[in-house]
């Protein structure tokens, strides 16, 4: 199969035309309950279908969290496969939030699961962890390029526990997170408008304190329920703010199950992000 148009090109176009926003599909048990659904596969399916039907034709990126589907076993994975297929058919880019990290053939198998075009879980991008060494990601990086996909690498995450690893001093000096960002910049060198390797940097960090000029997208979780707002983005990301893909989950999903309310919440967030970026 021939590769898609490069991921950076497709993401830039989606952000420019649909708005710079990623909406997480995170079917927490508490959200299913809040929607009046049972915490079972039927509830999972109804929740997921509602989100996809409401948003996939209008938001730039949908980000299903794989764990919330995996907990239901093979039937849950079936719901996830359908969500990926329907989201992409409606024009949304799908970022599989799987946070995979391993070595050798195992990393290669994860890459094939999410980034090979004939896989039932084929997505436009996947999240990965580099903390077995950036080189351990090579199978995913190579598969992404072959397929025209992207890889989002954990750098500085929004959970407070992450700092003990990510802010640790690397062997050559500087933080471990900065070392990973430098590797990402190397992978993206020369790409236009953006390379395929993105970084995950929490929007709750205040001043990130690192060089985020990686010539790639910057996924920014933490907006909404975790306390960050679109207005915080310029302060965290500085000159790289135009490449930020803010990620909102509960801040939008709590407006369900009414589809119009979900769409309205997504539009408001996207408008707020546009205003923050344009004013930076």
pTM confidence score: 0.96
Instruction: Output the pLDDT for position 237.
Output: 93
Residue range 236-245: mean pLDDT, rounded: 94
Non-local CB neighbours of 181 within 8 Å, separated by 6+ positions = 155, 199, 210, 211, 212, 214
Instruction: Output the pLDDT for position 227.
Output: 82
Residue range 251-275: mean pLDDT, rounded: 96
Instruction: Output the pLDDT for position 209.
Output: 81
- Which contiguous run of DSSP H or E holds residue 18? helix 7-18
Tell me the β-bridge partners of 265. none
Instruction: Output the pLDDT for position 1.
Output: 52
Alpha-carbon span 89 to 93, nearest angstrom: 9
Residue range 29-58: mean pLDDT, rounded: 98
Catalytic entry in 63, 82, 99, 117? 99
Instruction: Output the pLDDT for position 197.
Output: 98
Q: How many CB atoms lie within 10 A of CB 198?
A: 27
Q: How confident is the model at residue 64 (pLDDT cuts 50, 70, 90)?
A: very high
Question: Does the pLDDT value for residue 85 go beyond 90?
Answer: yes
Supply 87's token pair: 């989201």
Alpha-carbon span 141 to 183, nearest angstrom: 12
Supply 272's token pair: 């707020």
Does 82 participate in catalysis according to the annotation? no
Instruction: Output the pLDDT for position 205.
Output: 82
More confident residue, 13 or 2: 13
Instruction: Output the pLDDT for position 204.
Output: 86
> Across the chain, what does the average pLDDT equal?
95
**HSE-up of residue 40 (Cα within 13 Å, Cβ side):** 2
Virtual torsion, Cα 12, 184, 235, 174, nearest 10 deg: -170
pLDDT, tens digit, 9 for 90 and up, residues 202-236: 998 877 789 999 999 999 998 877 788 999 999 99
Supply 105's token pair: 């053939």
Question: 262: exposed, middle or buried (C-beta count within 10 Å: 0-12, 13-18, 19+)?
Answer: buried
Instruction: Output the pLDDT for position 2.
Output: 58
Question: 13: exposed, middle or buried (C-beta count within 10 Å: 0-12, 13-18, 19+)?
Answer: middle
**HSE-up of residue 150 (Cα within 13 Å, Cβ side):** 35
For domain 7-278, the CATH superfamily is: Aldolase class I (3.20.20.70)
Alpha-carbon span 68 to 56, nearest angstrom: 19
Q: Are 153 and 147 in contact (CB under 8 A)?
A: no
pLDDT, tens digit, 9 for 90 and up, residues 115-170: 999 999 999 999 999 999 999 999 999 999 999 999 999 999 988 899 899 999 99
Supply 251's token pair: 């801040």
């Amino acid at each position: 199969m021939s590769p898609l148009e490069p991921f950076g090109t497709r993401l830039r176009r989606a952000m420019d035309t649909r708005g710079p926003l990623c909406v997480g599909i995170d079917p927490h048990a508490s959200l299913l309950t809040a929607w009046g659904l049972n915490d079972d596969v039927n509830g999972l399916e109804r929740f997921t279908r509602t989100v996809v039907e409401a948003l996939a034709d209008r938001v730039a990126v949908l980000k299903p969290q794989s764990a919330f589907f995996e907990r239901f076993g093979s039937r849950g994975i079936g719901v996830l496969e359908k969500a990926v297929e329907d989201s992409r058919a409606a024009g949304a880019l799908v970022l599989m939030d799987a946070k995979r990290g391993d070595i050798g053939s195992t990393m290669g198998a994860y890459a094939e699961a999410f980034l090979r075009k004939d896989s039932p879980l084929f997505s436009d991008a996947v999240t990965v962890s580099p903390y077995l060494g950036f080189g351990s990601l090579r199978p995913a990086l190579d598969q992404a390029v072959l397929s025209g996909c992207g890889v989002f690498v954990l750098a500085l995450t929004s959970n407070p526990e992450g700092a003990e690893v990510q802010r640790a001093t690397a062997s050559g000096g500087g933080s471990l997170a900065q070392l990973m960002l430098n590797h990402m910049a190397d992978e993206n060198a020369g790409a236009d408008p953006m390379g395929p390797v993105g970084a995950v940097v929490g929007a709750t960090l205040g001043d990130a304190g690192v060089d985020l000029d990686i010539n790639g997208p910057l996924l920014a979780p933490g907006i909404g329920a975790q306390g960050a707002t679109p207005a915080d983005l310029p302060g965290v990301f500085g000159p790289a703010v135009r490449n930020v893909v803010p990620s909102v989950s509960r801040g939008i999903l709590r407006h369900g199950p009414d589809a119009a309310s979900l769409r309205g919440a997504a539009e408001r967030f996207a408008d707020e992000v546009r205003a923050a970026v344009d004013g930076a």
